Each structure stands twice: as C-alpha cells, then as structure tokens.
Structure 1
C-alpha cells in the first residue's frame, strides 16, 4: 500500500462483471484503497490478480457471503483494520432469478430477498456508521431497469430491485445531513455472465428495443458509479440513474 492513500472504496460482487469493472476504475485513483468483496475465493483472488498485474498496488480482497450476518461483521472488522475512512461503497453482488411467479418456490423468493434487499440494508447500515465518523461518503446500490419497466418471468427479481429504490430514497434523506449520499444505478442489458444465457434471438430483440442499438458494457456502468464517487457528483443523492442505452422492455 502506498503512502498517498487516504480513503477506501468497498465493492461487493467484485470478482466479475460490473463489480470487477468498478474495481478497475476505482483503482485508477492512487489515493484510493479498493476492497474487493465476493463469496468465491478462487474467482476473487483471480480478479484481484488482474488489477495487481496491471500495476495497481492499493487493492485488498475479502471473501464473504453477504447474506450471512457473521461474515458481514467480519468484513467490517477487516475494513476498520485498514484505519482509513470509507468514502465509497457499491453493492453489486447478487444473481438474476428468472421464472414465472406461478412456478416460483418460497425458498427462492427468500434467497433473492437475502441477496438483494436484506444484504443491502445490513451492509448500508454498517457502512453508513463508518462514513458518519467523517461526515462524508457515497453509497451506490445496483438496481435494474426491470424494477420500473418490468419483464416477463422476472417478477421476483424486479420486486427485489424495486425495493432498493425505496431504500435509496429513504436512506438518502436520513444520511444527507451527514454529507453521505445514496444513489442507485439501474443497468439495462449489459454484457456480463448474468445475460450470457439469453438466446441470441431474444438479445437481438432487446438490441432492437434499445435506442443506441447495442448491448452495454460493464465499463459503461462502472463509469457512472465512479462518477457518483467523485467530487463532481457532490450534489446528487436519492436518485436512480438508468444506464440502459434507452432500453424499453416489452415493446
């Protein structure tokens, strides 16, 4: 770790996709220690190695399942050992569950709830306590366009992402006087493992329904998230920012 660092950015789901892209962008800032969090140790170490190989030295990793309270507690202890203020936090972890509601079992609803909603609440609670000490910080939740636009077969997933919008607005109101900002980013169809299973025919239809005529890249979402960490976004809070290329699902 270099002597110039003065703050921490924490990223869940950092072993791949949008989370990894955010880590790479954040690591460009030499004053920032990037803490990459994911539950798969092997993938997480491999992802961190990419950044280290690229010459970024201020990178740490912590393996944790963010749906397990005890592991979240250990994550916060790890963060506090670094003895630097946490300025940025983004919650990218989570899977996309697809099934008609009539065929969805209770335990799968619970699984999605713990991944997307309860974990966001518990992580934000702990992170905001740390940020409050310095009266500064930026929290970003990853939502989805389906939270507002809907999508066939994604009722449960959409419901969980919709919950993040309420959390974003309410938490922004609660934390504003401490200069802690809370926003959500709602990606459209992004070229990650989450959409790898979508048949080409459906992908082409989605591209047709997207104003920019293409699928997005993780780096394009990461750019917006890192903007929300930057000083230039200091007056933005309580917002859900769509990064979807103009996608209109269901057309």
Structure 2
C-alpha cells in the first residue's frame, strides 16, 4: 500500500554541495518545494537558492522571509550547514573552537528558532539536525567539531520535550564516512584503514544519508522524535 505524499516546503541549509545537495535533490525528487541556503554557488536543479550565513541572525531571518514569500511557510527544516577546523587540542585556538561551534551548533539554533514561528502556527513541523558519528565517538583533532555535533543531540531532545505536543518532531541524523570529494582525496592506504573500522567495510553514498533524512521528515515518521539515527555502517554502534 502506498501512502499519499503531502507536498511540503523544505529548507536545507548548506544545500549547494556534498550531503546537503543530495538531501535537497532527494526532497525535490519526492515532489516537495525545496529551498537551500548557500553563501556561494547554487543548489541543485529544482530548488530555490537563497543567500544566507547561518552565523548572522539577520541573514537567516531575511532568507526565511524570502522563502516564505516564494514557497510558503517552512514546514521541514534540515540544519546541515557546517564547517571544520581540525587541529590537535594543544594547537587549537579560541577562534578555531568558537567559529566551528558558532556555525555548526549556534547556526542550527538560529535556523530552528526562526523556523519554529511558522511551525507553531501550523501545529506541524519536522526538524532534522545533521550531526556526525564523530559527535558520538569523538575524533582526534576534532574537539571543536565533535563538541558542536554532540550538542545537536541535546538540542533535538530539548526541542522534542518542549514542542512534542505541537505536532513538531526534532531528530538527529548522524552520518559516518561518506563518499565525497573530501574522502576521495584521501590516500588509498588511509581509505583502507578507515574502511577496516567500519563493519559495512565501505563508505556511504550521500544518497543513502539523503533518503534517511527524507524519511524521518515524512508523515510516516510522525512518532519518532528526539532520536539519533546513525547512517554509519555500524561504526558508532552502542552510542
């Protein structure tokens, strides 16, 4: 039996490349109205690209206003925009830490807070925060990144307790190693070493992450909230 799909207005932050781009394409293919935020470049075909910087509250507000005018109130928000500044703890500057947290964690807060207005009015909303297996198991040289990604779990669970009775869900999708330009550039020996730690013995495709995000944002997943859904081939099991 197939379920009738309700068309929604979806926003994917950082939707111009990598996993974000695949997520945006997946929602377009499912028939939704999709906007992406990007600081540069364009989102995939079929999306509305809006210039926005998640570290700037006024910029986020302006982006939402434009999306609301062109596509309607945002019903599904995927907070995906993120940066890395990997370096060992002893070499990590205050700026290396605060810049990553401000983009990855506080940036998600700014986006979700702005989306929440329309969701409360509609008594419906799907919030999906893109974390990482590193937020669960840690990563050497990634104190800033891991902290920012772990923080998203507390955010989703607090939102669930606060807004769960209003038809709004908040979940975390935590990808492991994904086939991207970045992993493709790793030396073959390094790739083999990483794959040896993954029970699935391979990296995921961006599409495998995108399909999970689309599903957890669907009406089929209406009773799932505050969950951390790993897409990591078993790398972070037990966390």
TM-score normalised according to structure 1 size: 0.88
Q: Alignment length, in residue pairs?
A: 233
The equivalent residue for 1:10 is 11
CA deviations on 1:127-179 (whole Å, 9 max, x unpaired) are 01111111011100110111111111111110111111110110111111111
Change (3 A) 1:227 1:27: same
How far is 1:26 from its partner? Answer: 0.3
The equivalent residue for 2:21 is 20
Matches of residues 114-153 of structure 1 in structure 2 within 5 Å?
A: 114-153=102-141
Contact 1:95 1:194 in 2 (8 A): no
Rounded Cα–Cα distance in structure 2 between residues aligned with 1:196 and 1:129: 40
Rounded Cα–Cα distance in structure 1 between residues aligned with 2:139 and 2:188: 17
**Structure 2 stretches lacking a partner, 5+ long:** 1-5
Rounded Cα–Cα distance in structure 1 between residues aligned with 2:188 and 2:172: 29
Secondary structure of 1:61's counterpart equals strand
Rounded Cα–Cα distance in structure 1 between residues aligned with 2:39 and 2:70: 21
How far is 1:96 from its partner? Answer: 2.4
How far is 1:199 from its partner? Answer: 3.2
Secondary structure of 2:36's counterpart equals strand
How big is the alpha-carbon RMSD for the aligned residues of Structure 1 and Structure 2?
1.8
Secondary structure of 1:82's counterpart equals helix
Secondary structure of 1:166's counterpart equals helix
Whether 1:99 and 2:100 are equivalent positions in the alignment is no
Secondary structure of 1:133's counterpart equals helix
Rounded Cα–Cα distance in structure 1 between residues aligned with 2:229 and 2:84: 19
Contact 1:94 1:116 in 2 (8 A): yes
Rounded Cα–Cα distance in structure 1 between residues aligned with 2:12 and 2:172: 14
Secondary structure of 1:191's counterpart equals coil
Contact 2:9 2:71 in 1 (8 A): no
**Structure 1 stretches lacking a partner, 5+ long:** none
The equivalent residue for 1:69 is 57
The equivalent residue for 2:96 is 108
Whether 1:37 and 2:37 are equivalent positions in the alignment is yes
CA deviations on 1:103-141 (whole Å, 9 max, x unpaired) are 001111111011111111111111011111110111001
Change (3 A) 1:78 1:102: same
The equivalent residue for 1:234 is 222
Rounded Cα–Cα distance in structure 2 between residues aligned with 1:211 and 1:18: 22
Rounded Cα–Cα distance in structure 2 between residues aligned with 1:29 and 1:186: 22
CA deviations on 1:21-72 (whole Å, 9 max, x unpaired) are 0111100233x210011111xx21xx43xx2xxxx4xx31101111112211
